[in-house]
Structure 1
Amino acid sequence: MIPAAFDYARPTTVDEAVRALADAGDEAKVLAGGQSLLPILRLRLAFPELVVDVGRIPGLRGVHEDGGSLVIGAMTTHHDVVQDPLVRRHAGLLAAATATVADPAVRHRGTLGGSLAHADPAGDLPAVVLALDGELVAAGPRGRRTIPARDFFTDYLQTALRPDELLVEIRIPKLDGWGFHYEKFNRIAQDWAIVGVAAAVRRDNGRIAESRIGLTNMGPTPLRATATEAALAGADADPGAIAHAAESAADGTRPGSDLAGSRDYREHLARVLTRRAVSTAAGLA
């Protein structure tokens, strides 16, 4: 299909982009890599009066260190996230999960910020950033503000971003020395995950000192498997203890039912994939 008519703006600074969004109010959409927005426009699932293309704004790409965190520009492509040596060294879970996103063509165009702002619970990266206790920085008319990932995803395809705000960077705490793994189940290669699990584990003297587990497609927003995290704290890093803790992975979730799988099926997958992801992250697989 052909998208409905809209006006188009291509600002060259963050301030220009924010002004364009503020002037348009709720009737604007931000175009980053376009891998989520363009299909929606073509299917006429969105009817913006203005599309703000932020592809020419300098400073929104790249990765650098800031103390104990990595700062990733919102327009950094999936490909660049996967290849960046800082991400590989300090946030390996993000690199590993991003490498599973769609196919090479999408990874060369899609952006980390675009994926997070789109907030699809079936997308791989929102659950990963949630598991990593990431923070998202938004720029608006009142300046910049930092939003913890746990507060960023508010409902299905909805975020805490205001209509006049632009996501400009993502801050990820360094997890040096942690094990990690992203496990997902999909029907065919490059398809959306029916369920995905992002796990990061810190071991100490044969025990699991701490774990962080994010769930993909287990509700209208990405979720943390908090019951499993609590059960793993101080547990022996052995298959039995991990399997027992993984049985609570679906607690508190609200997965839907569709042609890809029922709610019960998704809850079963969450338990199985959590056991696999944590076992691998803990160095047992």
Structure 2
Amino acid sequence: MKPPPFRYSAPTTVSDAVALLVEHADDDPRVLAGGQSLVPLMNFRLAQPGHLIDLRRVTGLDTLRLEDDVLVIGAMVRQSTAERSPDVALAAPLLAEALGHVAHPPIRHSGTVVGSIAHADPAAELPAVALAADAEMVATGPGGARRIPAAEFFLGPFTTALEPDEILTEVRFPPFPGGHAFVEFARTHGNFAIVGVAALVALAGGEVTRAAVAVSGMGPTPLRLTAAEEALVGRAPGAAAIEAAVDAGTAGLAPAGDLHAGAETRIDIARACLRRGIEGALARALDRR
């Protein structure tokens, strides 16, 4: 398995990387970060870029920092680095938990958080986390940087709102004071999940005041289950509220079946994962009070 011929560049600044995207626009250029998704696609010749722009030498993209309680993750922050980071555990524990489900440690040592989100695999964990967490994407192009809400970023399978001459340089995770849980079902740990659920819940005065739920593997993009969120908010955190949220959240789902699971099976799995995710988030929210 070998990729077709391609040209390779290793710029040292973001502006140089963007300039290369513009210069080689006719060659279907691709940006290379961790390469754990792109390189296998190239080896199978499912992706055939004519020019690779490697970000490994670009200064400033490997930073992970807090800005007024907002967690900022640069494009070259490895998944294993974020997984072990105290800042991630404090500011975005949902992300930290989800990272433990991503493939296997050797993959996470090379793969990047931002690269996984930019890849936009509808079955992947991190796009669903970004959607549930109301993350903000920072795209840098010839005209400078612009911010894209996660709700507007994922357009289809492996398709995002990034322009061809833009690079996703960082992702920003706002704080969520409450409980969290990430639950997924896969045939074996580390395999692509059939269904994944990212859940965030906040409590006050004996009732749910805020909820955010996203699911992966159930459509062409990660999906925000607003109906489940609405079924939780304003209710006491008990079995009745959870079942109402599960019913509401799965009522409109219409996943496509494949060799791993039919549509009905996926919905059954989604119900179980959604129930476990909400229960886990509520339990942690109750512990934080």
> Would the TM-score normalized by the shorter structure come out above 0.5?
yes
CA contact (8 A) 2:75 2:169 kept: yes
Query: 2:139, 2:252 → 1: CA distance?
Result: 29
1:94-123 residue CA offsets vs partner (Å, 9 max, x unmatched): 110011101000010000111011100011
CA contact (8 A) 1:29 1:51 kept: yes
Please show how residues 243-258 of structure 1 align to structure 2 within 5 Å.
Answer: 243-258=243-258
C-alpha RMSD of matched pairs (Å)? 1.3
Query: 1:162, 1:24 → 2: CA distance?
Result: 14
Query: 1:206, 1:278 → 2: CA distance?
Result: 16
1:104-149 residue CA offsets vs partner (Å, 9 max, x unmatched): 0001000011101110001100000000000000110011000000
Aligned to 2:194: 194
Query: 2:159, 2:197 → 1: CA distance?
Result: 21
CA contact (8 A) 1:220 1:254 kept: no
Aligned to 1:95: 96
Aligned to 1:59: 60
CA shift, 1:251, in A, is 3.5
Aligned to 2:282: 282
Q: Secondary structure at the residue paired with 1:117? A: helix
Aligned residues: 284
Query: 1:62, 1:245 → 2: CA distance?
Result: 38
CA shift, 1:69, in A, is 1.3
CA contact (8 A) 2:101 2:189 kept: no
1:149-201 residue CA offsets vs partner (Å, 9 max, x unmatched): 0111111110011111011000100113x110100000111101100000011
CA shift, 1:267, in A, is 1.4
Consecutive unaligned residues of structure 1, counting only runs of 5 or more, are none
Query: 2:168, 2:241 → 1: CA distance?
Result: 40
Query: 2:9, 2:257 → 1: CA distance?
Result: 39
Identity %: 44
CA shift, 1:240, in A, is 2.4
Query: 2:104, 2:117 → 1: CA distance?
Result: 18
CA contact (8 A) 1:28 1:50 kept: yes
Query: 2:252, 2:110 → 1: CA distance?
Result: 35
CA shift, 1:203, in A, is 1.1
TM-score calculated relative to the size of structure 1: 0.97
Aligned to 1:130: 131
CA shift, 1:53, in A, is 0.5
Q: Secondary structure at the residue paired with 1:57? A: coil
CA contact (8 A) 1:225 1:251 kept: no
CA contact (8 A) 1:249 1:270 kept: no
Moved more, 115-124 or 200-209: 200-209
Aligned to 2:265: 265
List structure 1 runs of 4+ shifted beyond 4 angstroms: none
Please show how residues 84-163 of structure 1 align to structure 2 within 5 Å.
Answer: 84-163=85-164
Which amino acid is 2:23 matched to?
D
Aligned to 1:30: 31
CA contact (8 A) 2:69 2:91 kept: no
Query: 1:87, 1:67 → 2: CA distance?
Result: 14
Which amino acid is 1:276 matched to?
R
Which amino acid is 1:231 matched to?
A
Consecutive unaligned residues of structure 2, counting only runs of 5 or more, are none
1:193-246 residue CA offsets vs partner (Å, 9 max, x unmatched): 100000011011221111100101110001111110010011110122212211
TM-score calculated relative to the size of structure 2: 0.95
Question: Is structure 2 residue 212 aligned with structure 1 residue 212?
Answer: yes
